Amino acid sequence: MSDRPAEDSVERMEFLLALRRRGIADQAVLRAMDEVPREYFVEAGFATTAYADQALPIACGQTISQPYVVAYMTEQLDVHPEHKVLEVGTGSGYQAAVLSKLAREVVSIERYRTLADTARARLQTLGYDNVEVLVGDGLTGAPARGPFDRIIVTAAAESIPDALVEQLAVDGVMILPLGKHDGPQTLVKLTATRAGLQREELIGVRFVPLLPGRAREL
Protein backbone atom coordinates (compact mmCIF):
# COMPACT_ATOMS: atom_id res chain seq x y z
CA MET A 1 0.00 0.00 0.00
CA SER A 2 2.78 2.40 -0.89
CA ASP A 3 0.45 4.70 -2.81
CA ARG A 4 -1.47 5.86 0.26
CA PRO A 5 -2.39 9.55 0.26
CA ALA A 6 -0.53 11.86 2.63
CA GLU A 7 -3.49 12.23 4.98
CA ASP A 8 -3.70 8.44 5.29
CA SER A 9 0.01 8.29 6.17
CA VAL A 10 -0.51 10.88 8.91
CA GLU A 11 -3.49 8.94 10.26
CA ARG A 12 -1.43 5.76 10.37
CA MET A 13 1.46 7.50 12.11
CA GLU A 14 -0.96 8.70 14.78
CA PHE A 15 -2.45 5.19 14.95
CA LEU A 16 0.95 3.61 15.58
CA LEU A 17 1.96 6.34 18.03
CA ALA A 18 -1.20 5.67 20.03
CA LEU A 19 -0.32 1.96 20.21
CA ARG A 20 3.21 2.76 21.38
CA ARG A 21 1.89 5.14 24.03
CA ARG A 22 -0.27 2.34 25.39
CA GLY A 23 2.73 0.05 25.71
CA ILE A 24 2.91 -1.93 22.47
CA ALA A 25 6.67 -2.26 21.90
CA ASP A 26 7.18 -5.30 19.65
CA GLN A 27 8.42 -3.89 16.33
CA ALA A 28 7.16 -6.86 14.31
CA VAL A 29 3.66 -6.41 15.74
CA LEU A 30 3.72 -2.66 15.08
CA ARG A 31 4.90 -3.30 11.52
CA ALA A 32 2.08 -5.81 10.97
CA MET A 33 -0.49 -3.36 12.36
CA ASP A 34 0.87 -0.71 10.00
CA GLU A 35 0.86 -2.94 6.94
CA VAL A 36 -2.68 -4.32 7.27
CA PRO A 37 -5.23 -1.81 5.89
CA ARG A 38 -7.87 -1.86 8.63
CA GLU A 39 -10.28 0.21 6.52
CA TYR A 40 -10.87 -2.84 4.29
CA PHE A 41 -11.97 -4.95 7.25
CA VAL A 42 -14.73 -2.70 8.65
CA GLU A 43 -18.20 -2.03 7.33
CA ALA A 44 -18.28 0.67 4.64
CA GLY A 45 -20.10 3.11 6.89
CA PHE A 46 -17.29 2.97 9.45
CA ALA A 47 -14.32 3.34 7.07
CA THR A 48 -13.59 6.89 8.24
CA THR A 49 -13.25 5.69 11.85
CA ALA A 50 -11.41 2.45 11.05
CA TYR A 51 -8.28 3.56 12.94
CA ALA A 52 -10.07 4.90 16.00
CA ASP A 53 -9.25 2.87 19.10
CA GLN A 54 -12.67 1.31 19.44
CA ALA A 55 -14.49 -1.87 18.55
CA LEU A 56 -16.78 -1.60 15.53
CA PRO A 57 -19.81 -3.64 14.48
CA ILE A 58 -19.63 -6.10 11.59
CA ALA A 59 -22.20 -8.50 10.13
CA CYS A 60 -24.01 -11.22 12.12
CA GLY A 61 -24.01 -9.14 15.32
CA GLN A 62 -20.25 -9.52 15.76
CA THR A 63 -17.49 -6.92 16.16
CA ILE A 64 -13.98 -6.11 15.02
CA SER A 65 -11.87 -5.55 18.13
CA GLN A 66 -10.30 -2.20 18.88
CA PRO A 67 -6.76 -1.86 17.48
CA TYR A 68 -5.11 -1.79 20.91
CA VAL A 69 -6.67 -5.12 21.90
CA VAL A 70 -5.63 -6.70 18.58
CA ALA A 71 -2.06 -5.43 19.04
CA TYR A 72 -1.93 -6.42 22.70
CA MET A 73 -3.22 -9.95 22.11
CA THR A 74 -0.85 -10.38 19.18
CA GLU A 75 2.13 -9.16 21.21
CA GLN A 76 1.28 -11.47 24.12
CA LEU A 77 0.92 -14.39 21.71
CA ASP A 78 4.61 -13.99 20.77
CA VAL A 79 4.30 -15.31 17.21
CA HIS A 80 7.45 -16.38 15.36
CA PRO A 81 7.88 -16.83 11.58
CA GLU A 82 7.94 -20.64 11.83
CA HIS A 83 4.68 -20.87 13.82
CA LYS A 84 1.34 -22.34 12.82
CA VAL A 85 -1.46 -20.33 14.45
CA LEU A 86 -5.10 -21.22 15.09
CA GLU A 87 -7.55 -18.34 15.38
CA VAL A 88 -11.01 -19.00 16.77
CA GLY A 89 -13.45 -16.36 15.52
CA THR A 90 -12.49 -15.02 12.09
CA GLY A 91 -14.92 -12.13 12.08
CA SER A 92 -13.93 -9.73 9.32
CA GLY A 93 -10.49 -11.35 8.97
CA TYR A 94 -8.52 -8.45 10.44
CA GLN A 95 -6.80 -10.34 13.25
CA ALA A 96 -5.97 -13.17 10.84
CA ALA A 97 -4.40 -10.67 8.43
CA VAL A 98 -2.21 -9.26 11.21
CA LEU A 99 -1.17 -12.76 12.27
CA SER A 100 -0.38 -13.70 8.67
CA LYS A 101 2.38 -11.09 8.66
CA LEU A 102 4.05 -12.83 11.61
CA ALA A 103 3.39 -16.56 11.21
CA ARG A 104 4.11 -19.28 8.67
CA GLU A 105 0.47 -20.35 8.54
CA VAL A 106 -2.83 -19.21 10.03
CA VAL A 107 -5.93 -21.40 10.30
CA SER A 108 -9.03 -19.42 11.26
CA ILE A 109 -12.41 -20.84 12.27
CA GLU A 110 -15.71 -18.94 12.03
CA ARG A 111 -19.14 -20.25 13.03
CA TYR A 112 -20.99 -17.83 10.70
CA ARG A 113 -20.68 -18.88 7.05
CA THR A 114 -21.47 -15.34 5.88
CA LEU A 115 -18.53 -13.95 7.83
CA ALA A 116 -16.24 -16.81 6.83
CA ASP A 117 -16.98 -16.50 3.11
CA THR A 118 -16.60 -12.72 3.14
CA ALA A 119 -13.37 -12.83 5.15
CA ARG A 120 -11.91 -15.57 2.95
CA ALA A 121 -12.60 -13.58 -0.22
CA ARG A 122 -11.25 -10.38 1.36
CA LEU A 123 -8.04 -12.04 2.54
CA GLN A 124 -7.48 -13.65 -0.87
CA THR A 125 -8.05 -10.35 -2.66
CA LEU A 126 -5.56 -8.57 -0.41
CA GLY A 127 -2.95 -11.30 -0.87
CA TYR A 128 -2.92 -12.99 2.53
CA ASP A 129 -2.20 -16.38 1.01
CA ASN A 130 -1.06 -18.13 4.19
CA VAL A 131 -4.50 -17.87 5.84
CA GLU A 132 -7.07 -20.67 5.62
CA VAL A 133 -10.62 -19.84 6.75
CA LEU A 134 -12.87 -22.69 7.87
CA VAL A 135 -16.54 -22.75 8.82
CA GLY A 136 -16.96 -24.70 12.04
CA ASP A 137 -17.32 -24.91 15.79
CA GLY A 138 -14.57 -22.86 17.39
CA LEU A 139 -14.87 -24.76 20.67
CA THR A 140 -13.67 -27.92 18.95
CA GLY A 141 -10.87 -26.18 17.06
CA ALA A 142 -9.29 -27.81 14.02
CA PRO A 143 -7.71 -31.06 15.28
CA ALA A 144 -6.98 -32.29 11.75
CA ARG A 145 -4.79 -29.20 11.20
CA GLY A 146 -3.00 -29.31 14.56
CA PRO A 147 -1.03 -29.22 16.68
CA PHE A 148 -0.66 -25.44 16.78
CA ASP A 149 2.20 -23.39 18.15
CA ARG A 150 -0.18 -20.57 19.01
CA ILE A 151 -3.95 -20.30 19.51
CA ILE A 152 -5.87 -17.05 19.78
CA VAL A 153 -9.56 -16.92 20.69
CA THR A 154 -11.39 -13.73 19.80
CA ALA A 155 -14.63 -14.42 21.68
CA ALA A 156 -15.18 -14.94 25.40
CA ALA A 157 -15.35 -18.47 26.81
CA GLU A 158 -16.84 -19.16 30.23
CA SER A 159 -14.25 -21.89 30.82
CA ILE A 160 -11.06 -23.06 29.13
CA PRO A 161 -12.00 -25.24 26.13
CA ASP A 162 -10.30 -28.62 26.66
CA ALA A 163 -10.33 -29.39 22.93
CA LEU A 164 -8.25 -26.29 22.20
CA VAL A 165 -5.76 -27.08 24.96
CA GLU A 166 -5.28 -30.54 23.44
CA GLN A 167 -4.36 -28.91 20.12
CA LEU A 168 -1.54 -26.83 21.63
CA ALA A 169 1.98 -28.00 20.83
CA VAL A 170 4.47 -28.36 23.70
CA ASP A 171 5.57 -24.83 24.66
CA GLY A 172 2.55 -23.56 22.75
CA VAL A 173 0.68 -20.44 23.89
CA MET A 174 -3.04 -19.70 23.88
CA ILE A 175 -4.60 -16.29 24.49
CA LEU A 176 -8.32 -16.09 25.21
CA PRO A 177 -10.89 -13.98 27.06
CA LEU A 178 -12.45 -15.81 29.99
CA GLY A 179 -15.53 -14.86 31.96
CA LYS A 180 -19.30 -14.78 32.07
CA HIS A 181 -20.90 -13.55 28.87
CA ASP A 182 -22.85 -10.95 30.82
CA GLY A 183 -20.12 -10.09 33.33
CA PRO A 184 -16.45 -9.19 33.74
CA GLN A 185 -13.97 -10.92 31.45
CA THR A 186 -10.20 -11.30 31.71
CA LEU A 187 -7.69 -11.93 28.98
CA VAL A 188 -5.78 -15.07 29.95
CA LYS A 189 -2.48 -16.45 28.62
CA LEU A 190 -2.00 -20.21 28.80
CA THR A 191 1.33 -21.92 28.14
CA ALA A 192 1.50 -25.67 27.54
CA THR A 193 4.56 -27.07 29.28
CA ARG A 194 5.59 -30.70 29.80
CA ALA A 195 4.66 -30.24 33.45
CA GLY A 196 1.19 -28.93 32.68
CA LEU A 197 -0.68 -25.77 31.77
CA GLN A 198 0.60 -22.46 33.11
CA ARG A 199 -1.92 -19.65 33.45
CA GLU A 200 -1.35 -15.90 33.54
CA GLU A 201 -4.10 -13.30 33.85
CA LEU A 202 -3.52 -10.17 31.78
CA ILE A 203 -6.09 -7.35 31.36
CA GLY A 204 -9.82 -6.85 31.64
CA VAL A 205 -11.64 -7.06 28.30
CA ARG A 206 -15.10 -7.24 26.78
CA PHE A 207 -15.78 -9.71 23.94
CA VAL A 208 -18.81 -11.25 22.28
CA PRO A 209 -19.59 -14.78 23.56
CA LEU A 210 -17.85 -17.89 22.26
CA LEU A 211 -20.79 -20.11 21.35
CA PRO A 212 -20.81 -23.82 20.48
CA GLY A 213 -21.61 -25.24 17.05
CA ARG A 214 -22.01 -23.62 13.69
CA ALA A 215 -24.50 -20.79 13.36
CA ARG A 216 -27.58 -21.17 11.23
CA GLU A 217 -27.01 -19.98 7.69
CA LEU A 218 -26.98 -16.17 7.54
CB environment 89-128: b (16+ within 10 A), e (fewer): bbbbbbbbbbbbbbbebbbbbbbbbebbebbbebbeebeb
Rounded distance, CA 172 to CA 92, Å? 25
Q: Which of 34, 28, 136, 27 is closest to 89 using CA atoms?
A: 136
Please provide the DSSP assignment of 94-120 as one string.
Answer: HHHHHHHTTSSEEEEEES-HHHHHHHH
Contacts 24+ apart (CB under 8 A), 170-176: 170/194, 172/147, 172/148, 173/76, 173/77, 173/78, 173/149, 174/150, 175/73, 175/76, 175/77, 175/151, 175/202, 176/88, 176/151, 176/152
Q: Catalytic amino acids? A: 65
